Structure 1
């Protein structure tokens, strides 16, 4: 039976991530980076595609779980007929250590545990050669295939068919550690780690990071966890911010809308930067700006909408038939064909985020402002070019209204940088283009019924239009905006959850999808800022209720089956949650108690 997406916890060392099921199985792990080939791929298949189960032998054992305060150290408590024990899972935060650690701690009575390991490298295309390499004092196995080598130290594991299995009994106060360490196959086997020390360092690191969250507000626990998810998806060495930890979790169960999100979208990363800045993490602005300078170095005409974690440009999309897909949803895709798309909104998101950094006190350098000027100069050449929109349509290009509004925002931020910050630039040209784009939207992007349209050739609406007041294109209570929301409620909310758009062929894809969580969070902010506070509060309560028991959100939600859908944890969902919470706090009545 396929494990529900919401049953997964995430672990992270800020270089990669693992998914651990409620049943104690690590079903997804790519080392050493988020976008490396999987060594545990059961998430997109079954145990035979790689997994590591660690749980009581008792099939009736009951589990509860939590993160150890504000960390990504996962504690799963198991209760059996014979006793109670806890499993502590974490990915050591230490630099140069690519590992996954699992500690079993006896609480009361005696509990029989079974560890079952199936390593399958390169998206289950490589079954490794495995040998015992331990000693009388330390049991260990070494698994090698192609460029990958893994050492697993801990209780003795014996080969059983295509798995390695260990079994032992845990008593009160006793700890049993298992550590999987990755390294290149051509180097010496990865060294053992000091388990106690790395657990303490990992706990302290995450707790210290979380303590610095500012202005968490009335939804402090969810906002803090969401910001921590964003940090878990930010590579500690390169500064690249991936959109999610997974690939090919379906937007519709059993369907083919399955995409690889383990890359850095300029849009999502820019929005993450804004959230970081709003909550006190100014150093993130410096690091991401440095990443941006490296990634898009060269001719601005070659700017892409997305890059690899270190700024790689070549991300070809291909199908991997070694993994059958989550619940049979195929194909499984590696890479993302959207890398070659033109999406006119992206430069706008970058300019808005970098203005937020300036406003927060991050000084421009000669190179950072030169980058922004070059982007605006390039955008001036593309100003009349249709695009494929924020949702990466795979049909024909259009003049998407959201994209046009972000083009307006890009020039607007450039103008403000010159007028308010004394920077240099082609301000007269930018002002003329900004005003022309606004006039274009006013004339062609508004239906006779009074609402903004998805693009200039349709009367449909699109949830991305909720961004227009967020970037200052119009007021939240602009009559056109209110009419747009009313039209969304009429056509995009059949179950009370907001769809991105109606899949009527404009996206060039078959099949359907579920409501996109970020869009409903955007609607919370729109309600809050336009005088519909009761609606905003009610929708926020419904949305936060679909986060799993650890506060994690995927990309979409199926309101019929009441389950999460799409890649997880999804940066954009958590970003939008933070924005919605901030909007509710900003619009709270003066008489309301402040956090």
Structure 2
């Protein structure tokens, strides 16, 4: 069977509630959503074009569609789409995943609520609800009653409760929308109130939740809308049950067209912890930050100090990777992968990432459970591993599958582990441990300066004894490894701008890797470069580049992993938490202070 047509651009919006998330295209079609959680079976998989059966979507189709417009309700994760036909009729579709606080906990079911409202004329619509199972391979059995339809997806039964004509929905027949209709897709449970009352009340409470949450943020004066949208996106990417933050909601959207750089990002990379925690801390999102720290510390405090680069959102260690034949891939560009082989790799920077993230526990007085001497003792074995591995080959943060070297970034993160342990020991007034960890940090620091800096080239290099550049070297000053005004760092920033920058984006590196030569800019690297430019005093240049990158967000303000250099087209998994962290950090550095405006 010919693959169903998929979305042709990442002009998608995301709705979610911390337990469930869905991606919705510009025409109000749900094209991606996994059940019962972010890493589950994508019942809605149209984004990756199922081949065995049509569907994998939840569409509200307007006959004779002429145009569409879409926006979030301000400061919320509630998405509104307006569809207009060629005859002047219009319909409004409001989508959200219910979330609010009740009974001293959060109500966040696996649920999507949709409110359809006629705005003008007599819009004629068709509701297509076509979930699939087993990554698009199975059509679920259905049953129905007078006000509901049940879809028996493997491992989870979805129930649609609606005041729309059930037969017309079940048979996908068009009808004229004469009044407001409501569709609630969620667990196989009976609603205890009229569906219209539930949707109206749920929308009001969900809007209230998000606006209260946004009001609690400490945002910069400039670029407020962009920062707020990025903050909400980070929040939506947190699986609240454990605190894990996924790298992205999707799998297998390629980094570039036909590149086969297709990976599953629906897992939690510990490397992201340091970056996400820093962004959330700067915004004052303490509950989200503390929940993530709990996830990280849970893993870090196990008996086994051999850390993996990533884990499942439920702390799963084994993430076996395989290819899915029942999905053709984004725009037909397979393979589609499930799982991620990187869990088997050695990436030594992970020890520094975990210690950096956990350091927040000891210094932030806002946290409910601050770090103490017992927590410090649980972190020390990670420092020992970092010291032992700081000059050993690994796959590096870019997860090379075909080579292992001593990566400068990995060594710097090993230094950071020892350095932060020394700082924590100072805070806890443990002078013996201060000396111990400071000596180890100094040993690593000296080794990196000797092996990771090339005096002839005038800049730091990607590997010990190497000569190539790597965008991760832009972080050396940010981590405190070297001062921003040190000529060695300034020279590194200038060399990276000369060799890795193309237009308004940055390569991670330009040397060929396991899959050939990189083709697109890696969005977080561009933000790292912006931050580094500001650190060395090139503020105007940094602001100009930052504004250019903001223009490359999708129409709803969301970012994927990669951007094409030529036209700014989005590639890579979506939405990418790394990219939104970079936006927040850069905006906080570049913004004018509130005092300047008041």
TM-score (ref. length: structure 1): 0.92
Q: Residue 36 of structure 1 aligns with which residue? A: 40
Specify the SS of the correspondent of 2:302.
coil
* Inter-partner Cα distance in structure 2 for 1:593 and 1:525: 21
* Inter-partner Cα distance in structure 1 for 2:49 and 2:282: 40
How far did 1:353 drift?
2.6
- Pick from 98, 109, 116: which aligns with 1:97? 109
Cα distance change of structure 1 residues 490 and 373 upon mapping to structure 2, 3 Å threshold: same
* Inter-partner Cα distance in structure 2 for 1:503 and 1:189: 57
Q: Residue 295 of structure 1 aligns with which residue? A: 299
- Pick from 542, 556, 562: which aligns with 2:548? 542
Q: Residue 350 of structure 2 aligns with which residue? A: 346
Report whether the alignment pairs 1:569 with 2:575.
yes
Is contact 1:242–1:269 with CA below 8 Å preserved after alignment? no
* Inter-partner Cα distance in structure 1 for 2:123 and 2:168: 23
Q: Residue 87 of structure 1 aligns with which residue? A: 93
Q: Residue 213 of structure 2 aligns with which residue? A: 209
- Pick from 457, 469, 475: which aligns with 2:477? 469
The Cα offsets for residues 13-53 of structure 1, whole Å up to 9 and x where unpaired, read as: 11121110002211101012100010011111158251111
* Inter-partner Cα distance in structure 2 for 1:190 and 1:145: 20
Report whether the alignment pairs 1:77 with 2:89.
no
Cα distance change of structure 1 residues 289 and 141 upon mapping to structure 2, 3 Å threshold: same
Alignment gaps of 5+ in structure 1:
none
How far did 1:395 drift?
2.0
Cα distance change of structure 1 residues 591 and 289 upon mapping to structure 2, 3 Å threshold: closer
* Inter-partner Cα distance in structure 2 for 1:591 and 1:385: 46
Cα distance change of structure 1 residues 190 and 492 upon mapping to structure 2, 3 Å threshold: farther
Alignment gaps of 5+ in structure 2:
101-106
Note the aligned Cα RMSD (angstroms): 2.3
The Cα offsets for residues 47-104 of structure 1, whole Å up to 9 and x where unpaired, read as: 82511111311232x1111111111110111222232221001112263621111111
Is contact 1:305–1:343 with CA below 8 Å preserved after alignment? yes
Specify the SS of the correspondent of 1:65.
strand
The Cα offsets for residues 88-142 of structure 1, whole Å up to 9 and x where unpaired, read as: 01112263621111111122222111111221112112211112x222xx2x221
Specify the SS of the correspondent of 1:484.
helix
How far did 1:191 drift?
7.5
- Pick from 99, 106, 118: which aligns with 2:130? 118
Cα distance change of structure 1 residues 384 and 456 upon mapping to structure 2, 3 Å threshold: closer
Cα distance change of structure 1 residues 91 and 271 upon mapping to structure 2, 3 Å threshold: same
- Pick from 242, 245, 250: which aligns with 2:254? 250
How far did 1:310 drift?
1.8
Report whether the alignment pairs 1:555 with 2:558.
no
Specify the SS of the correspondent of 1:574.
helix
Report whether the alignment pairs 1:518 with 2:553.
no
Is contact 2:91–2:119 with CA below 8 Å preserved after alignment? yes
Q: Residue 446 of structure 1 aligns with which residue? A: 453
Is contact 1:521–1:580 with CA below 8 Å preserved after alignment? yes
* Inter-partner Cα distance in structure 1 for 2:161 and 2:595: 55
The Cα offsets for residues 556-575 of structure 1, whole Å up to 9 and x where unpaired, read as: 10122431010111000000
Corresponding residue pairs, total: 577
How far did 1:407 drift?
1.1
Q: Residue 411 of structure 1 aligns with which residue? A: 418
Higher mean C-alpha deviation, range 298-307 or range 422-431? 422-431
How far did 1:511 drift?
5.4
Q: Residue 464 of structure 2 aligns with which residue? A: 456
Q: Residue 596 of structure 2 aligns with which residue? A: 593
Higher mean C-alpha deviation, range 367-376 or range 447-456? 367-376
Cα distance change of structure 1 residues 402 and 41 upon mapping to structure 2, 3 Å threshold: same
Is contact 2:296–2:354 with CA below 8 Å preserved after alignment? no
How far did 1:224 drift?
1.2
The Cα offsets for residues 565-595 of structure 1, whole Å up to 9 and x where unpaired, read as: 101110000000001011113xx5x899347
The Cα offsets for residues 167-211 of structure 1, whole Å up to 9 and x where unpaired, read as: 33224xx3111121135xxxx778786222222221111111111
